[in-house]
Amino acid sequence: MKKIIILLTPILLIALVYGCSKDHEAPTYSTYKAASSPDDVQATYDPADDAVDVTWTMADTTGVGAYFVAVSDSSVFDEGETRGFNTAYGVSQFTYDAATYVPADVDSLILYFTVSAVYKNLTFNNFIGPRAPVDSSLVLRK
């Protein structure tokens, strides 16, 4: 019995070392460094259409399939009531219909907009990239 324990101890230790060798390494996010956020987000209220036109630019559109536009009613973006919308492939503008989402009895409201690229390529499959800086628009009805 003693010989079996002496024989199995090094085998068990080697199995533990190889089995747990990567448990101490932190996860890496270097893959996601290829994802970038859109720039120059502009949200402009058009009182004639009662809609907010949102436009943006993006320098590197490699692997970008579409965009995700998020809207909030709070300056602390994630703490407000948020809504998200997908754009069509390659479109870099979005029209937010204020008449549909802002009650008619509200005469003014500040809405906050941000845009993220949706990557669809060999590395990312419908991966929503980092957010662009938030822009706001005043919905002012007279």
* pTM for the structure as a whole: 0.75
Residue 10 lies in a domain: no
**Domain that includes residue 58, residue range:** 36-140
- Over residues 61-110, the pLDDT tens digits come to 888 989 999 999 888 888 888 999 999 888 889 999 988 888 888 888 89
What pLDDT sits at residue 112?
94
Contact predicate 69/115, CB 8 Å:
yes
CA–CA gap between residue 58 and residue 39 (Å, rounded)? 6
Residue 84 lies in a domain: yes
Which range has the worst mean pLDDT, 6-15, 21-30, 131-140?
21-30
Residue 70 lies in a domain: yes
Q: What CATH number did the domain enclosing 81 receive?
A: 2.60.40.10
What pLDDT sits at residue 125?
86
What pLDDT sits at residue 68?
95
Domain count of the fold of the chain: 1
What pLDDT sits at residue 63?
87
Residue 13 lies in a domain: no
Residue 31 lies in a domain: no
Contact predicate 39/59, CB 8 Å:
yes
Residue 61 lies in a domain: yes
